[in-house]
Structures are given as structure tokens and as C-alpha cells.
Amino acid sequence: MTHFVKPLVVAAGLIAAALVPASAAEPVVGNWRTASGEMATIAPCGGAFCISLTTGKFKGRQIGRMNGSGASYKGEITDPEADRTYSGSAEVSGASMKLTGCALKIFCKSQTWTKR
């Protein structure tokens, strides 16, 4: 009987694995064209998502870090020109992402990025 138990356990494990949906990549991950026309990459990093510029004057600079999933993310975003960091949020809708950065939670500015 032990010859039948092992194949059944393996088969049950394979069936269970097939029934669990594969985790889809977060919608925020990818390459984005910023409002100023530069390109930025958002990628997983240390349990969060890091935003790094890949073109332009500040190429290679990390300008943000966010946590979240699905369509909503929160974290910090840096304006590389002014070298100021703001609390921020991002809302992803298809190939569009609205980023909002706020100083003192009342002075907020938004811009829209497009996924490439």
C-alpha cells in the first residue's frame, strides 16, 4: 500500500498548486514616462517599490519609495531639481499613474505618468 500513497500525495500537491492563482506583477512595476518627458523605472526593492530615473540630468537617481498594492501606493517622492522630498501617493489606472506629492499634507501637487 505504501507504493500507492506516495504518488497520491505528489499528485494531490500538484493539483493544489495548479489551483492557486499565480501572483500577477504589481501594476506600478515597469517603465514610466514622467510629466517632464524623462523615463523612470519602478521596481521591487526591499519590500517596497523604488522609483529611479533612467534618462535625463538625474539619470540613475532614486527619487521615490512606495508601499502598497493593486491600484494604490503611498510613500515618498523627491523632486530632483529642488532636492526636496514629499510624502506622496500614486494611483494606477491602466497605463496611467497619478502621482501626488504633499508638503505639510496641505500643499499638494499632482502629475500623471504614462506606462511604456
pLDDT tens per residue, range 7-46: 333 333 333 333 333 345 799 999 999 999 999 999 999 9
10 within domain boundaries: no
Instruction: Give residue 97's pLDDT.
Output: 98
Is residue 3, in this structure, part of any structural domain at all?
Answer: no
Spatial separation of the C-alpha atoms in residues 31 and 52, rounded to whole Å = 10
pLDDT computed for residue 105 by the predictor: 81
Domain hosting residue 107, numbered range: 25-115
Is 1 within a domain? Answer: no
Is 12 a domain residue?
no
Q: Any idea what the CATH number is for the domain that residue 109 is in?
A: 2.40.128.520
In a domain, 17, yes or no: no
Least confident stretch, 1-10, 76-85, 99-108: 1-10
The tens digit of pLDDT for each residue in 40-66 reads 999 999 999 999 999 999 999 999 999
Q: Indicate the pLDDT class of residue 106, thresholds 50, 70 and 90.
A: confident
Q: What is the pLDDT of residue 100?
A: 95
The pLDDT assigned to 10 comes to: 33
Q: How many domains does the chain have?
A: 1
Confidence (pTM): 0.77
